[in-house]
Amino acid sequence: MNIWNLLLSAIVTTLLGFIIGVTYMGIRRKIVALAQNRYGPPIYQNFLDILKFWSKESNIYHGVMHHLAPLWMIAMAITILLIVPTQYGSKFFENLSFNGDLILILYLMPFGQLGMALGVGQTGNPNSAIGVTRGLSLLVGSEIPFIMALIAVMIQYHTTSVTDLVRIQQEHHTWIMFSSPFAFLAALCVLPAMFHAGPYEVIIAPAELASGPMSEFGGKYLGTMMSAGSIFMFAKLTLFVDVFMGGSTNWLWLIVKTFTVYLFVIAVGIIMPRLRTEQAIRRLWGWPLVFAILAFIQVALF
Amino acid sequence: MSNLQILQITFYGAAILLIAIGLYAVVTKRNLIKIVLGLSIMDSGVNLLFITVGYISHKTAPIFSPSVMAKYKTIHAAAQAMVDPVPQALVLTAIVIGFGVTAVALALVVRLYRHHNTTNIDEIRNLKW
Amino acid sequence: MNTLVVLLLILFGGGIIAYFAYNIHKIVGDIWLVLVGFAASIYYIGYLDVSQVLNIHLAGFVLTLALNSFSWIFGLLIAVLLPLVALYSIPYMKGQDRLGWFYMLFLFSVGGMYGILMAGDWLTLFIFWEIMTWSSYLIVIYRRSEDAPRVGLKYLIFSAIGAYSLLTAIVLIGANVHSLSISKFFEVLPMHSLGFKVLVGSLMLIGFGVKAAVMPLHVWAPDAYSTTPMNYTSMFSGALSKMGIYGIGLIVINLYYHSGISLAGEIVAWFGAITAVLATYYALIQKDAKRLMAWSSVAQLGYIVAGLGIGTKLSVFAGIYLAVLHGLFKANLFMAIGAVERQAGTTNFSELRALIRKMPWTFFSALISVIVLAGIPPLSGFVGKWMLYESMITSGHYVIVVFLFLASVAGFLYAFRFLFGVFLGQEEKEFEHVKEANPFMTVPMLLIALFLIVLGTFPGIMFKYIARSMADLGFYGVTYKMSVLTNDWGQSINMQYIAASLVIVFVLFLIVLTWVAYKNSRNVTTKDIHTSGEPPSEEDNYHFSENFYRPFQRAFAFVYKYAITPVYNEFARGIEDFFQYVRRLYTGNAQTYALYVLLFLAILFLIAKNIH
Amino acid sequence: MKKAIAIILLAFIAVELFVVFYKIPFGADRMNVARFYLENSPKKLGVANAVTAIVVNFRGFDTLGEVTVLFLASTALGSILFRRREIHTRLSHLRTSVEASVIVRIAGRFLVPLIILLGAYVFIHGHLTPGGGFQGGVIIATGFLFLLLAYRKFTIEHRTITFVESLAGITFAGIGLIGIFLGKTFLENFLPAGKLNDLLSGGIIPLIYIAIGFKVAAELTGILDTVLSISIDVKQKEIESQTEKNE
Amino acid sequence: MVATNHILVTPIYFIALPLFFAFLLPLLGKIYKSFIRIVPGLMFAYLAWMAVVLLLYVYKTGNPVIVKIAGWAPPIGIDLVFDQFTGFIATVIAILGFLVWMYSYLFKKVEFDNALKYFLLLMLIYAGSIGVVITGDLFNQFVFLEITGISAYALTAFYRGRDGAEAAFKYLLIGSFASTFVLLGILLIYTQLGTLNMADIARNIDKMDPTIKVIAFILLFTGFGIEAEMFPLNGWAPDAYSQSPGPIGAVFASMTSKAGLYALIRLSFTIFDFSSANELLFIMGILTLVFAEGIALRQEKIKRMLAYSSIGQIGLIMIAFSFNTYLGVFAGIFLMLNHALVKSLLFFSASFLAYNSPHKYIKDIQGFARYMPVTALMFGIGVFAIIGFPPFSGFWSKFYLLSAMAEKNFVILIILVLSVSLIELVYYFRVLHKLYFAEPTGEYQPHTPRWNAMLAMVLLALIIIAIGVYPDLVTGFIGKAAHAIMDKTTYINSVFSI
């Protein structure tokens, strides 16, 4: 593969991911507002926000780790997006999808979070640190059912590669959510937690402005982080779609599928009240774990 | 029951009884002096057993005194008429050893009496467990 | 002259001379120590003739010294650590008394480790094992701190349990195989009965498991690791614990997989997995950096044991790789903690605050090590984790892999706990005077950190040796590439691309962000923060360190409810009480004793008919 | 309780022992080595008293041990009671025994030499007649006991006792060692055996028995002396306590 | 098989010289006071040298040195047998005798009378112990046992301030039982065989009435068992060990108990031919081991703890011998050697550590390591050796013992023994930790050992390490010794061939 080709596709994919992700965020704000009987901001509001953050002149500098934190986030987000196959069969959008697999993706995710946590830590804001500890605790809750679902899928299809999974689904014209329903259910249940949305939003605690990991970031840092967050969100959605819903062969189809999943996340978030961290962990280790175990049994028996 | 059997029962019985009495005194008497006496009795019993075992019916003491030699003429004949000398020699040793032990025991009793102001063995129990 | 003997002589003789050298003057001793460290290291890497075998006839046994490529790799780990730790020790141990004693034991224990690795027969292995044990025990109690006796005794008791089961196994081998040679033993083992195999194997595993801190036998480890001076702990956790791993590797692979009891390997793997999970859980509630890292060591060793227990080609590969890696990064972490201890005077999370600006290099090396520990790409830790998980998934051990994942995810918690507790958070006046550690301390740490970074993208550097040692364990034809990892199903990842992507994006944005933000940046203190409009005053400190993971603790309260230590304590107390009662047999009354004699005699009289 | 257990145990042991000993025929001839002793003590050693021959020669090593035991007893006594003989000498006026009656004192004067003479006779004739060093020594010791009882002021110079004791012991061991130096074995007879029932017969046996006699006499006397000092000690304590009371 | 009548080197000196000098010592003391210390030392040194020479001779030629006494060949006379086994043990005792002398060279320096008695008793207990080992006559063995016993009683009660008399009285009481039983046993044998020579008895043991044989065996077993500190018979032992003067604890551990043990082993291996004797030894060994070590765990006084530990070791040795295999006996002899060396070192150092505290509580010595580092180090070396860490001598004995067990596939027994070892480790290291870590209470002033004691301890430690590093120093002798004790016929033949 040509290196320039690769660079180009990477830039295109990143841009697309950025645009889609930010738009999704706007849509979410709108939907949430509507559900709460508010008018809500326009859908493009998040673009404006990011633009505003980037154009801010002054910058609060807390130290090296604080400076680097957004970079960890965005490096992680873009790399994951590049690894997750977005377009099945497309040579151009292949990116790095043959150079990584599910385990790598799973392990890349904390890369950004660790960077953010370190940056947060250096600011000295205790509330931010509390947010980080909540987030990490919740990670234990959400990761285990999710990884179990993924392992069930991996073992069932004898592959750890996402690309392979997409290929298998495309070739057999089936979606894993139908062939491995329990794995799908388990993953679906923990999905809101992975987006820090729904009942699992105690980490960022959007209602309490002062706390949450990102409260000490402003200006260009926050802008970078928001961009990274939106790209990361899209990457995660794509991953979910790739694994369970057959991936896609064109961007439109991908947007439909990812948006459906995202809609589900938004809906759950609107319906469910926020949980405390330990409640969240217990809930995540409730039904999702049962589903995951059922998925294992399914793999073991069939 | 022959004469010999009666003698046998008497001597063995007496000796073993002495040993038993000695042991009994050692094990049950509270007084240190009595315990030492018990030890002595025990020794006596053992010594008596030795002598008893060394005895051979109708034979004389193992001394080749002129009178004995005169009676039996040869040493060999005299030797045939004598009891076993070995147990007697052993008893001599045993008695002396018994004496030594008793002396030491009595000395210890004195020490104990000085130290504890009692001869009751039950009260002398500084060392235990 | 046999090069193996020369190496041992360098270490043991160097140890004895070090004692006297330090008694002459500290500087003489320091120079000697570094000299010995480098000499041993260079000699090992450069001059050691692996093919040499030495047989010593002693006391009716043949003691064999022979190195193979499996043990060589562990020796390499020691050889890398030894000079670095020696350098690090110079400033770290400044001002301590009895340095000669300390370093003598230090070098003895290193010599013991090399002896273990060189052992060609079980007796040699055991002798050096015990030398290593007692020298490390004496180092554990070296500081004479308040709880040193308790910790030392605990370490010693568990070491003895291990050593004794090892010894039992060895004598059983001696009696049944009629040879103590290790290779001979593995050769003839398949011919022996299942019972023998299981018995000897379990005993050996208990023996090695103690040093590898496998779960029910781990009790000593957190205390011992945290009580010992940190420069030794880095060897202790980094290299000495690997001796247990070395033994487990030998046993599991040879005993179970080459003589057909794979179930036992599964059990070992399970022990490792459970150790990993529980130790991680305990690590994240610790209040002291040393103890946290000590528990973390236990957890990490659990992974390695699990990897070796699974026993497929990839998992063993991963196990060995992780073992070497753990030796490096855990040594580095303990060195960092030692540096903090030395500079700031404490390692307690509730006292330490925000040392990042004071000790940036220490922070950097600690950060790298923590990233490696957490297994986050693109650093080397991930490579090991990836191979481990893939090997388990591909071989169908999906329950164990979930446990390991759980441990790994929870591992992020304590990793952050450590970094935050020591280096981050609000600054405190108390630590204003703190300076970066002596270059002798930071340079070894940074060297290790650098190596760990490089190893992430180019793990092939290490794979070369591991592949060679795999052949020694009976896994032939192990292939490897410089930076492409392949699992048993044929899927692969390319670390170069991943690292490149991460680095490019990172650097790109770094340039942009720095360019854009640098000019108007306003440097602020950690007190200048946004706390709901109530910025803390200079006197207040809002550092967050108590009950760090309280939600987590609440959620997993059921795990923390049970612990093995009280069980051991109760058992020990039971034994003591029993004998407290029994000793009343000796009433102190002479007549009672006399009665015993009579009773004994009477009993013998009673059974007289049975004596023939 | 203890007594009951003791009685049961002892009864059992005694019965068991009796049963065993009953199997040994009483008065039967079962000499094995003893036969040799009987035959050879007059022939080879020229000793009339076979028991003496055994005690001093055939099993002379036992006797050396035996003498050692006695020596040990006297040393042990001294060591255990911690009463130096000097003190004893100094305190002899405190001796508690009532001044013996005139009869005893006068009889003592006449009898003690006779007793000592008898003792000497017994051990000098140890190889000819019943008796020997031990018996003779004991008899001599009774003579000293008589003196100690009869005369309150009578003391025995401990130096003398030590000297005699040591010298006799050295003689015994030395005679044994001479055997080695002469190229023979320890305690082996190196003097002519002489004629049976002659006073000067039996080679080294009479010499050893004389040494033993001296040794036993000295040691026993020493032991008696030491034991008597106990009473002094007690008396001294009483006096001390009385003076305390008076004050 | 050669009766050496060498004037300078003959086993008879082991007994004759101590007795001779014991008789002579009071007179020598009159001439020059220091003679009472120097002369025994010269004698001990000579005997130690002689023992080594004899052992080397026996080792090289393979012929035991058998000496007849009073010119009568056995079974008429008494004989001394210095073969590979008895010779080895006698050598160990001889060397330790010298070291004990060196340790106590300045003992009671000011009190002439006490010093005289001490050295006298030391020589006699030494002669008695060696006599028990090398004599070939059963009754003679009894006599030496009594010499050992009475000197031990006296030494136990040597100190005024302690409860020595109590301990000695207990020892005496039980010891008298032992002598009674031994005498009865000897009597029974004599009535049957008419001889007292061990070899002769062993040769003709079949001619005994079976019932009488068993009872004689039981009586002797009990009697010697008392001296060997077998479990239910050892009530006296902890008291005696703990109340005697410091070096005498070492003497008990290395000499008297070894003598008793030797008698027991000779009884079971050579004199009688019961196969159950081994089982009996085995059971009693286990009981002794477990009870003693367990009780040692709960001791508050250091010497008492050492005493129980010593008893436990005796149990271990009995177990080793009870296997009746070459390896087992080998391990047993090695253990005997190791126990003699290490326990002596422990008693030496412990008694100085606890020099001034009357009851020798462990808490009294806490923190003394800072005052007397060398002594504490010696104690530490002793502990390391007894636990069996390489490269100390204890390791090899333990390894051989376990090998012997493994040879018979006694896995449970191995586990038992090692569990007991663990208990041992706990209580020893508790003391060591007290010694090194605790703050001194200040109640008792430490008393630093003088050069002679230090020298003795260092020598012992060096021997222990030397054997640990290079066990071949002794394995050759031990191997021959093991063959010698197991080979009954050769013993009998060699005794009768002179």
What distance in Å separates the CA atoms of residue E290 and residue E284, rounded to the nearest whole number? 10
Which of C584, C590, C598 is closest, CB to CB, to B121?
A: C590
Tell me the two tokens of residue E113.
């009378």
Q: Do C506 and A133 make contact, defined as CB atoms within 8 angstroms?
A: no
* Confidence band, pLDDT 50/70/90 cuts, at residue E385: very high
**E144 pLDDT more than 80:** yes
List CB contacts (< 8 A) between E179 and chain B: 97, 101
Q: Do B12 and D21 make contact, defined as CB atoms within 8 angstroms?
A: yes
Task: Provide, rounded to the nearest whole percent, the portion of chain E with pLDDT above 90.
Answer: 43
Q: Please give the average per-residue pLDDT across B35-46, as a whole number.
A: 92
Q: Indicate left, alpha or beta for E208 from its phi (over 0: left) and psi (-120 to 50: alpha).
A: beta
Q: Please give the average per-residue pLDDT across A55-84, as a whole number.
A: 85
Cβ proximity of C311 and C242 under 8 Å: no
Task: Provide, rounded to the nearest whole percent, the portion of chain A with pLDDT above 90.
Answer: 9
Q: What stretches of A124-159 show up as alpha helix (H) in DSSP?
A: 126-157
Look at residues C182, C162, C179, C124 and name the one whose alpha carbon lies nearest to residue C8.
Answer: C124
| E 395-424 residues with CB < 8 A to D | none
Which of B29, B91, B104 would best serve as a mutation to test chain D binding (most D beta carbons within 10 A)?
B104
φ, ψ for residue E80, nearest 5 deg: -110, 130
Look at residues C109, C90, C139 and name the one whose alpha carbon lies nearest to residue C335.
Answer: C90
Which of C493, C525, C533 is closest, CB to CB, to A101?
A: C493
Residue E9: DSSP 8-state? S
* Confidence band, pLDDT 50/70/90 cuts, at residue C380: confident
B→C contacts (Cβ < 8 Å), by residue, are 23, 26-28, 35, 121-122, 125-129
Q: Do D165 and E23 make contact, defined as CB atoms within 8 angstroms?
A: yes
Q: Do A70 and C513 make contact, defined as CB atoms within 8 angstroms?
A: yes
pLDDT tens digits, C174-226: 888 888 888 888 888 888 888 888 888 889 989 999 998 888 888 898 889 88
Complex ipTM, two decimals?
Answer: 0.89
Nearest CA distance, B7 vs chain D (angstrom): 8
Q: Which residue has the higher pLDDT, D197 or E178?
A: E178
Nearest CA distance, A96 vs chain C (angstrom): 7
Nearest CA distance, D103 vs chain B (angstrom): 30
Which of D5, D12, D16 is closest, CB to CB, to C595?
A: D5
Q: Are residues C329 and C419 in the same domain?
A: yes
Q: Please give the average per-residue pLDDT across B94-109, as a whole number.
A: 90
In a domain, residue C252? The reply is: no
Q: Which residues of C126-144 are buried (b: 16+ CB within 10 A; e: fewer)?
A: bbbbbbbbbbbbbbbbbeb
How confident is the model at residue A209, as a pLDDT? Answer: 45
Q: Do E127 and D57 make contact, defined as CB atoms within 8 angstroms?
A: no
Measure the N-to-C terminal CA separation of chain B; round to a whole number of Å: 53
List CB contacts (< 8 A) between E158 and chain D: 79
How confident is the model at residue D224, as a pLDDT? Answer: 84
Which of E78, E176, E190 would best serve as a mutation to test chain B binding (most B beta carbons within 10 A)?
E176
Q: Please give the average per-residue pLDDT across E163-174, as a whole number.
A: 89
Q: Are residues C327 and C428 in the same domain?
A: yes
**C538 pLDDT more than 90:** no
How confident is the model at residue B8, as a pLDDT? Answer: 85
pTM for the model: 0.91
Nearest CA distance, E276 vs chain C (angstrom): 5
Which of E78, E197, E215 is closest, CB to CB, to D61?
A: E78
Look at residues E320, E255, E312 and name the one whose alpha carbon lies nearest to residue E428.
Answer: E312
List CB contacts (< 8 A) between C371 and chain A: 114
Give the angle subtended at the CA of E37 by the CAs of E33 and E42, to the nearest 5°: 125
What distance in Å separates the CA atoms of residue C599 and residue D13, rounded to the nearest whole number? 9
Q: Do D9 and C595 make contact, defined as CB atoms within 8 angstroms?
A: yes
How confident is the model at residue C311, as a pLDDT? Answer: 82
Nearest CA distance, E183 vs chain B (angstrom): 7
Which of C148, C160, C578 is closest, CB to CB, to E437?
A: C148
Look at the alpha carbons of A92, A95, A100, A106 in this order and tell me if their dihedral is positive or negative: negative
Q: Do E7 and D181 make contact, defined as CB atoms within 8 angstroms?
A: yes
Q: What stretches of C424-546 show up as alpha helix (H) in DSSP?
A: 439-457, 460-473, 495-517
**Structural domain boundaries in chain A:** 3-301
Give the mean pLDDT of chain E.
88
How confident is the model at residue E2, as a pLDDT? Answer: 46
User: What SS3 state is found at A69?
Assistant: helix
pLDDT tens digits, A97-141: 777 788 888 888 888 888 888 888 888 777 778 888 888 888 888
How confident is the model at residue E300, as a pLDDT? Answer: 87
How confident is the model at residue D246, as a pLDDT? Answer: 60
Which residue is it, tokens 């100085």? E352
User: What SS3 state is found at C494?
Assistant: strand
Q: Do D24 and E143 make contact, defined as CB atoms within 8 angstroms?
A: no
Q: Please give the average per-residue pLDDT across B103-123, as a whole number.
A: 86
How confident is the model at residue D234, as a pLDDT? Answer: 60
Q: Are residues C350 and C267 in the same domain?
A: yes
pLDDT tens digits, D108-126: 888 889 999 999 998 888 8
Tell me the two tokens of residue C152.
């030392």
D→C contacts (Cβ < 8 Å), by residue, are 2, 5-6, 9-10, 12-13, 16
Q: Please give the average per-residue pLDDT across C357-362, as a whole number.
A: 88
* Confidence band, pLDDT 50/70/90 cuts, at residue C602: very high
Tell me the two tokens of residue C375.
């297994």
Q: In terms of CA atoms, which chain A residue is nearest residue C415?
A: A114
Look at residues C452, C439, C228 and name the one whose alpha carbon lies nearest to residue C338.
Answer: C228
pLDDT tens digits, E307-334: 999 999 999 999 999 988 999 999 999 9
Q: In terms of CA atoms, which chain B residue is nearest residue D25?
A: B8
How confident is the model at residue C518, as a pLDDT? Answer: 73
Cβ neighbours of residue A109 closer than 8 Å, sequence gap 6 or more: A76, A80
Nearest CA distance, C598 vs chain D (angstrom): 7
- Note whether E31 contacts D: Cβ–Cβ < 8 A: no
What distance in Å separates the CA atoms of residue C55 and residue C62, rounded to the nearest whole number? 6
Tell me the two tokens of residue E401.
């013992």
- Note whether E232 contacts D: Cβ–Cβ < 8 A: no
Neighbours of A282 (CB within 10 A): 15
* Confidence band, pLDDT 50/70/90 cuts, at residue A223: confident
| Residue-number span of the structural domain to which C598 is assigned | 567-610
Count of B–C CB contacts within 8 Å? 28
Q: Do D42 and B20 make contact, defined as CB atoms within 8 angstroms?
A: no
Task: Provide, rounded to the nearest whole percent, the portion of chain D with pLDDT above 90.
Answer: 6
- For B3-123, CATH gives 1.10.287.3510
Cβ neighbours of residue A180 closer than 8 Å, sequence gap 6 or more: A152, A153, A156, A295, A298, A299
Which of A104, A125, A143 is closest, CB to CB, to C377?
A: A104
pLDDT tens digits, C60-119: 888 888 888 888 889 999 999 999 999 999 899 888 888 888 999 999 999 999 999 988
Task: Provide, rounded to the nearest whole percent, the portion of chain B with pLDDT above 90.
Answer: 29
What distance in Å separates the CA atoms of residue E346 and residue E457, rounded to the nearest whole number? 9
Residue E208: DSSP 8-state? S
Q: What stretches of chain D show up as alpha helix (H) in DSSP?
A: 2-22, 33-40, 50-52, 60-81, 85-90, 102-124, 133-150, 158-181, 205-246
What distance in Å separates the CA atoms of residue C313 and residue C474, rounded to the nearest whole number? 10
How confident is the model at residue C162, as a pLDDT? Answer: 92
List CB contacts (< 8 A) between C598 and chain D: 6, 9-10, 13
**Structural domain boundaries in chain B:** 3-123
pLDDT tens digits, E26-50: 888 888 888 888 899 999 999 999 9
Which of A59, A123, A139 is closest, CB to CB, to C409?
A: A139
Nearest CA distance, C592 vs chain B (angstrom): 8
How confident is the model at residue E3, as a pLDDT? Answer: 45
Cβ proximity of C220 and C140 under 8 Å: no
pLDDT tens digits, C342-358: 888 888 888 888 888 88
Q: Indicate left, alpha or beta for A275 from its phi (over 0: left) and psi (-120 to 50: alpha).
A: beta
Cβ proximity of A284 and A143 under 8 Å: no
pLDDT tens digits, C234-281: 999 889 999 999 998 888 888 776 777 778 888 888 999 999 999 999
Look at residues D199, D205, D164, D209 and name the one whose alpha carbon lies nearest to residue D57.
Answer: D205
Cβ proximity of C74 and C243 under 8 Å: yes
Q: What stretches of B29-129 show up as alpha helix (H) in DSSP?
A: 32-54, 66-72, 75-80, 85-116
pLDDT tens digits, E240-255: 988 888 889 899 988 9
- Note whether E220 contacts D: Cβ–Cβ < 8 A: no
* Range in C386-390, D134-138, D181-185, D225-229 the model is least confident about: D225-229
Cβ proximity of C246 and C376 under 8 Å: no
Cβ proximity of E242 and E347 under 8 Å: no
Cβ proximity of C422 and C366 under 8 Å: yes
How confident is the model at residue E1, as a pLDDT? Answer: 39
Q: Please give the average per-residue pLDDT across E291-318, as a whole number.
A: 91
Nearest CA distance, C467 vs chain A (angstrom): 23
Look at residues E158, E366, E132 and name the one whose alpha carbon lies nearest to residue E247.
Answer: E158
Nearest CA distance, D57 vs chain E (angstrom): 6
Which residue is it, tokens 């049975």? C610
User: What SS3 state is found at A166?
Assistant: helix
What distance in Å separates the CA atoms of residue A253 and residue A248, rounded to the nearest whole number? 6
Look at residues C161, C132, C15 and name the one whose alpha carbon lies nearest to residue E391.
Answer: C132
pLDDT tens digits, C23-68: 888 889 999 999 999 999 999 988 888 888 888 888 888 888 888 8
What distance in Å separates the CA atoms of residue D230 and residue D226, rounded to the nearest whole number? 7
pLDDT tens digits, A173-210: 888 888 888 999 999 888 888 888 878 887 776 555 45
List CB contacts (< 8 A) between A144 and chain C: 402, 405-406, 409
Give the mean pLDDT of chain C.
87
List CB contacts (< 8 A) between E277 and chain C: 611
- Chains in contact with B, where contact means 3 or more Cβ–Cβ distances below 8 Å, are C, D, E
- Chains in contact with D, where contact means 3 or more Cβ–Cβ distances below 8 Å, are B, C, E
Q: Are residues C464 and C385 in the same domain?
A: yes
Q: In terms of CA atoms, which chain C residue is nearest residue A53?
A: C517
In angstroms, the Cα distances linking C33 to C37, C83, C102, C183, C601 are 6, 9, 11, 35, 64
List CB contacts (< 8 A) between C505 and chain A: 71, 74-75, 78-79
Q: Which residues of E268-302 are buried (b: 16+ CB within 10 A; e: fewer)?
A: bbbbbebebbbebbbebbbebbbbbbbbbbbbebb
pLDDT tens digits, D144-195: 888 888 877 777 777 888 888 888 888 888 888 888 888 888 888 888 877 8
